[in-house]
Amino acid sequence: MKPLMIVSDLDGTLLDSTGGISERTRAAVQAVQKAGHTFVMASARPVRDVRPIAEALGHMAIAVCSNGAISYDYAREAVVNHHPMAQDVAAEVIAVLRRRFPGVRLGCERWPDLLLEPGFDLDPALAGEARRVRSLEEELDGRGLSKLIVQTGGSAHDYYRAVAEALPGRCTVTVSTPAFCEITRTGVTKATTLDLLAVQLELSAEQVVAFGDMPNDLPMLRWAGRSVAMANAHPDVLAAADETTLSNDEDGVARWLEDLLAQPRRTPPERGSTSHRTARLVEERPWT
């Protein structure tokens, strides 16, 4: 079997509904690495929130965080790639959001900090290190924003499309949780940052297997040679993926990986084969 890059989202995918990692999942991740494959975590979570998961897996390696805005090497404690939204773009986006969504609550990842405006409702487990600020406009200081997070009335699954329509061409808008939608620099997704990593590893997209469950995973799933949706995935993800595994609470990723090791025929098809989807993602790479 050719070596693969195996990429997994975290919440709703590799992690169970309590946010935990089962022993079966831990063993499966270690087994594919022992077999010579590369395992990569790709999450909307920031670097600090991925760290305890990396530690629990015993996998202190490179992870793609903040929906691709930053990748981090936990073994070297170093940023590998960082693609922040420029200050002038961030200021323009914030102004549009204020006009379009009165009362909107904003937050941002500005490496390495989390900033939240008053009233932004975030799980205390994730907001413990946040700094509350009066407004994001007052905090723009030239460093740019890794990720802007937007919260208004209702579920983000309902309003993220309206946010995207209000910002055509200015940035990338997606969603991974009902609590808020997420905005990154134009062209920055999990897929674009994973593509950079694959090049560094001398692997093609056809040698990538990707697992996901939410719309923010769609670029990654469309780019990968083999895409696998969780049974609990968003309908758009289920429709886009090549196949579906069991839910995150049923160790769906672990079971698929166990089957991969037992049945080498499940290796993703070669480039140009009739079973490989030809319409792969081509993303703008504004940082090149």
Give the model's confidence band at 288: pLDDT under 50 very low, under 70 low, under 90 confident, else very high.
Answer: very low
Give residue 284's pLDDT.
33
- The one-letter amino acid code at 15 reads L
DSSP SS3 for 245: strand
* Integer Cα distance of 194 and 217 in angstroms: 12
pLDDT the model gives residue 215: 96
User: Mean pLDDT across the stretch 173-189?
Assistant: 96
pLDDT at 118 over 80: yes
Report long-range pairs for 54-62 (Cβ below 8 Å, ≥24 apart). Answer: 56/21, 56/26, 57/21, 57/26, 57/29, 58/26, 58/30, 59/29, 59/30, 59/33, 62/197
Residue 95 has pLDDT above 70, yes or no: yes
In order of their start, the domains of the chain are 5-82+189-266 (3.40.50.1000), 87-185 (3.30.1240.10)
The two tokens of residue 164 are 């995207």
Joined together, the tokens standing for residue 7 give 């990429």
- Residue 66, sorted as left (phi over 0), alpha (psi -120 to 50) or beta, turns out to be left
> What's the rounded mean pLDDT across residues 239-256?
98
What pLDDT is stored for residue 126 in this prediction? 78
The rounded distance, in Å, linking the Cα atoms of 188 and 192 is: 6
User: Going edge to edge, which strands form the sheet with 62-65?
Assistant: 78-82, 70-73, 62-65, 38-42, 5-8, 208-212, 226-230, 243-245
Q: Is the pLDDT of residue 257 over 90?
A: yes
d(CA 124, CA 139): 22
When pLDDT is averaged across residues 99-103 and rounded to a whole number, the result is: 96
